[in-house]
């Protein structure tokens, strides 16, 4: 399982952006479009598969294939860099083809538009944007995953729109149901929300691992309340996307960057948006060609998306995360710890109250995420927690030679085996040493990852 997990935005709400890649069943559910759910579609590295026709083509043909599409739902796994590289290539291909492109963003509520407009108009520096837009409060994932997309949009004056609803509203739906929302909360949800779609429930259920410490084996009533919240989330993004389209030129295309769980099988945003939109909706989801058990992912159900784009499996996220989730309000106690994560092996415990990171107080989600964004694999991290009546310092930075779960040790436990760059092909290891890890070097506009020897310097 990937070690990277976000600090939870909701206590018991889950974003279906990331799937358990060790279990390929999520790619083979017999749900979605009845005409495609009975057959499979190939997954080809750096090839795009038209799941309706079974044809594999290159990005150079993508803009033509999207002719007539008004709403493009482009899935992502938030902490996998190749998903975002695909997103940028799609946006660039459409823009270069002369399409009037606008971008919809899951990470921003529609109520937070001013910062996006100021960014497009070149009125903000990167630091200013991250601060004023409260990036690390609303989203939390490392800015550099999305930086190239935002820079391209600004440089080409491509409008960007928040399409989400305030997270507090989604939480309220889960806690008390749609029918009990206050008048103020109702203003932020669409007039109709389908919370009873059987395919959506089947997908929602399959998205949880059986050994998920927070969501596995949950009572049916809790599952249904969470599904209702997820449907509200999907419907809100669909409804706000349609509002953007109706105000845009008729030949424009809105590309919505959103977690793959909101896109897969057409049971999320697409299903909800069709209540208000009769135009052409297309879905595209990148799919790793290998899972976490190093087994090839050769196909998906043809109903999984209209287009699937094969990418390499990324064992390690580009930026580190300790792997625990906390409450969003109050004492910020840890409510879940990801299996096999740094947090699990460093000795964090459920109900630990997070106090500081490297001696700097981290009383809220934004501060924690902003501090973690300064860290790279190999850095030492000391987290102070309150456990009972005592303060405990947990050192997550032991040397790589020592036993433990240091960030420095984690980089040496990276992807073993033959590695290939998704654009340039296969490359040999930098040395024949048996211990190999991964690091990233940015050069001439793309990221290249290299197998390395026993030291990080070998790949630099």
DSSP annotation string for 204-227: HHHTS-TT-TTTTT--HHHHHHHH
CATH topology of domain 324-409: Pdz3 Domain (2.30.42)
Cα separations (Å) of 197 from 32, 128, 143, 207?
A: 11, 42, 35, 16
Instruction: Name the residue among 305, 158, 164, 181 with its Cα closest to residue 238.
Output: 164
Predicted confidence band of residue 239 (pLDDT cuts 50, 70, 90): very high
Q: Which residues contact 160 (CB under 8 A, 6 or more apart)?
A: 102, 103, 104, 105, 116, 119, 120, 150, 153
| Confidence grade of residue 217 (pLDDT, cut at 50, 70, 90) | low
Helix axes 198-206, 220-246, angle to 10 degrees: 110
How far is residue 396 from each of residues 241, 356, 371, measured CA to CA in Å? 42, 13, 15
Spatial CA neighbour of 369 closest among 38, 144, 33: 144
Are 146 and 80 contacting, i.e. CB atoms less than 8 angstroms apart?
no
CA 330, CA 318: separation in Å to the nearest integer?
A: 30
Average pLDDT, the chain: 82
Token reading at 338: 């990801």
Cβ proximity of 322 and 348 under 8 Å: yes
First to last CA, the chain: 27
At residue 174, the pLDDT reads 76
Q: Is the CA virtual torsion 267, 268, 274, 275 positive or negative?
A: positive
pLDDT digits (tens, 9 = 90+) for 133-169: 999 998 999 999 999 999 999 999 999 999 999 888 8
Q: Which two tokens stand for residue 327?
A: 């409450």
In the predicted model, what is the mean pLDDT of residues 392-417?
Answer: 45
Q: Angle 196-199-202 (CA atoms, 0-180°, nearest 5)?
A: 100
- Quick check: helix, strand or coil at residue 162? strand
> Where do the domains of the chain lie?
24-311, 324-409, 414-459
Angstrom distance (rounded) from CA 422 to CA 178: 44
CATH number, domain 24-311, options 3.40.50.300, 3.10.20.340, 3.40.50.11550, 3.30.530.20: 3.40.50.11550
Phi-psi group of 50: left, alpha or beta (phi > 0 → left; psi -120 to 50 → alpha; rest → beta):
beta
pLDDT, tens digit, 9 for 90 and up, residues 88-130: 999 999 999 999 999 999 999 999 999 999 999 999 999 999 9
Query: In sequence order, what are the beta bridge partners of 438?
Result: 451
Q: What is the pLDDT of residues 36-73, one digit of tens each?
A: 999 999 999 999 999 999 999 999 999 999 999 999 99
Nearest of 460, 455, 450 to residue 435 by alpha carbon: 455
């Amino acid at each position: 399982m990937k070690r990277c997990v976000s600090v939870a935005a909701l206590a018991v709400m889950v974003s279906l952006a990331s799937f358990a890649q060790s279990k390929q069943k999520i790619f083979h559910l017999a749900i979605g479009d009845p005409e495609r759910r009975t057959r499979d579609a190939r997954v080809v590295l750096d090839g795009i598969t038209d799941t309706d026709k079974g044809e594999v083509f290159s990005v150079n043909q993508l803009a033509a294939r999207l002719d007539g599409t008004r709403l493009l739902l482009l899935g992502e796994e938030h902490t996998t860099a190749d998903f975002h590289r695909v997103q940028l290539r799609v946006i660039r291909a459409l823009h270069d083809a002369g399409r009037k492109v606008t971008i919809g963003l899951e990470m921003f509520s529609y109520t937070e538009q001013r910062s996006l407009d100021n960014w497009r108009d070149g009125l903000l520096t990167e630091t200013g944007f991250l601060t004023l837009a409260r990036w690390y409060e609303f989203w939390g994932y490392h800015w550099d995953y999305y930086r190239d997309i935002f820079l391209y949009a600004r440089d080409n004056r491509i409008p960007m729109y928040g399409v989400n609803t305030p997270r507090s509203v989604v939480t309220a739906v889960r806690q008390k149901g749609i029918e009990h929302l206050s008048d103020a909360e109702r203003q932020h949800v669409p007039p109709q929300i389908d919370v009873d779609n059987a395919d959506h429930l089947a997908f929602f259920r399959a998205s949880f691992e059986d050994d998920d410490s927070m969501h596995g084996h949950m009572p049916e009533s809790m599952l249904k309340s969470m599904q209702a919240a997820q449907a509200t989330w999907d419907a809100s993004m669909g409804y706000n996307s349609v509002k953007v389209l109706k105000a845009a030129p008729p030949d424009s295309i809105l590309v919505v960057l959103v977690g793959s769980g909101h896109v897969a099988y057409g049971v999320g945003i697409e299903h909800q948006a069709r209540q208000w939109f009769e135009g052409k909706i297309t879905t595209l989801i990148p799919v790793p060609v290998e899972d976490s058990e190093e087994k090839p992912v050769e196909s998906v159900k043809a109903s999984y998306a209209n287009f699937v784009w094969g990418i390499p499996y990324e064992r390690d996220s580009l930026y580190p995360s300790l792997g625990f989730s906390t409450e969003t309000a109050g004492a910020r106690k840890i409510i879940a710890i990801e299996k096999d994560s740094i947090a699990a092996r460093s000795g964090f415990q459920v109900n630990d109250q997070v106090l500081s990171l490297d001696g700097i107080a981290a009383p809220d989600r934004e501060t924690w995420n902003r501090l973690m964004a300064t860290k790279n694999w190999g850095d030492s991290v000391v987290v102070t927690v309150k456990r009972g009546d005592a303060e405990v310092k947990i050192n997550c930075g032991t040397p790589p030679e020592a036993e433990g779960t240091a960030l420095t040790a984690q980089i040496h436990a990276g992807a073993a085996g033959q590695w290939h760059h998704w654009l340039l092909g296969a490359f040999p290891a930098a040395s024949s040493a048996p211990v190999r890890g991964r690091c990233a070097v940015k050069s001439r506009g793309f990221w290249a990852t290299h197998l390395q020897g026993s030291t990080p310097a070998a790949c630099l």
